[in-house]
Chains A and B, each alone.
Chain A
Amino acid sequence: MTSKSPEGMEHLLPTFHGQSAQILAYVAAKGTATSEDIRKDLGIPRSTIYKLLSQLVKTGLATREKVGNVDEVRVPDFSFVIKNTAYIAECKVTPRNILAFDSAHTAAGKMFAERHGPEKFAEFVALYDRYESGATTSQLMARELGVTRYEIELLLSDIKSIAPAVVNIGRRSHRR
């Protein structure tokens, strides 16, 4: 596992957002993927995929290896501690919870952070790993965080809308 402190890593923050985050979460959930897999499942244009993958490989967040005629992409089990962004306090971001981290930019995420503060949002991101791996329920999450289930379901709904293919692959791979 790669674990790095936030100092001097600010340039990585954009890769934890939007389509880069979707690619990281998708490849991590799938284990290995080709650009074509990413295009088909995430619906990202080919040219954007090449550009984003180049950036991810350059920063060490993904690796690319030629297998036969295709490049196989992998994502190492990284872990970055991110502090004090607009909607989130100190938070450990991994490929498994990166979509929960990115949901801070959604309507439900912003509303949650505004109501309960960035620390609580960071707690949600930390718990999300356990939820997706089937180690907790949305009710237990709500109880643990001291919020309503309605708010948790709104967040989960937004995460699923960010990249439904990633969530479904994640759930299948946990089942194995």
Chain B
Amino acid sequence: MAGVRIVDSSLLIEADHRKVLGPLEAYLRSSVGAIAPPRVYEETVSEPKSLGFSGSSPSRIERLFSDNVVTIENPDYSESEVSDTVDKVRECIAKKAEKQVHLVELADLQLVALAASYAKKGERVELIFRDKLLKDCLASVLKGKGISGVTITDSSMLVRELLSKRHV
């Protein structure tokens, strides 16, 4: 049973903002591969670059992708179990946030699709993000569908851990 880490924009942005991108790179290079859906690249690199954010943050994050520390992977929705998981998480978020389903955007759901797809193949999945609402919805949908092997790591806690190690 191999394994994969799926990272969200929150992890990359917070790690860069708090100057632990180097330790994060070492962490992500260890043991299993790190992947992210295309939307994460857009949120962390393309969009801030196009808006002309000062500083070199988007470029620093971009290097994680160009150096293959994080590989961009398109989610595959062709498996019915994957698309069904995504739909259920989308409905859950929309209901709890009191928003219309179509307002729940791509990135969260791309993470869910990747996680469901790898878990279905029997691989261990570590999903790293921060949003509590997504965590609650994903945990309940995965449990309901009997999908195991997905662990959720809070990205802020991970950044905090990297910070504390840096200060040792």
Contacts and interface: CB of A to CB of B under 8 A. Distances in A.
Nearest to B12: A153
A160 interface: yes
A167 B17 CA distance: 17
Interface residues of B, number: 34
Interface stretch (B23-31, B66-74, B102-110, B142-150): B102-110
Interface residues of A, number: 29
A149 B43 contact: yes
Interface in A73-95: none
Contacts of A158: 17
Nearest to B11: A153
Contacts of B167: none
B79 interface: no
Nearest to A148: B47
A138 B130 contact: yes
Contact of A135 (B43, B97, B103): B97
B9 A153 contact: yes
Contacts of B9: 149-150, 153
Contact of A148 (B51, B96, B130, B136): B51
Contacts of A176: none
B79 to A, nearest CB: 24
Nearest to B106: A139
A164 interface: yes
B14 interface: yes
Interface string A18-41: 000000000000000000000000
Contacts of B53: 150
Given A148-B47, A157-B18, A171-B132, A139 B13 contact: no
Contact of A153 (B13, B58, B133, B135): B13
Contacts of A46: none
B83 interface: no
Contact of B160 (A136, A138, A140, A164): A164
Interface in A129-176: 130-140, 143, 148-150, 153-154, 156-158, 160-161, 164, 167-168, 171, 174-175
10 contacts: A132-B132, A135-B96, A138-B10, A138-B131, A139-B104, A140-B93, A143-B105, A150-B9, A150-B44, A157-B18
Interface of A: 108, 130-140, 143, 148-150, 153-154, 156-158, 160-161, 164, 167-168, 171, 174-175
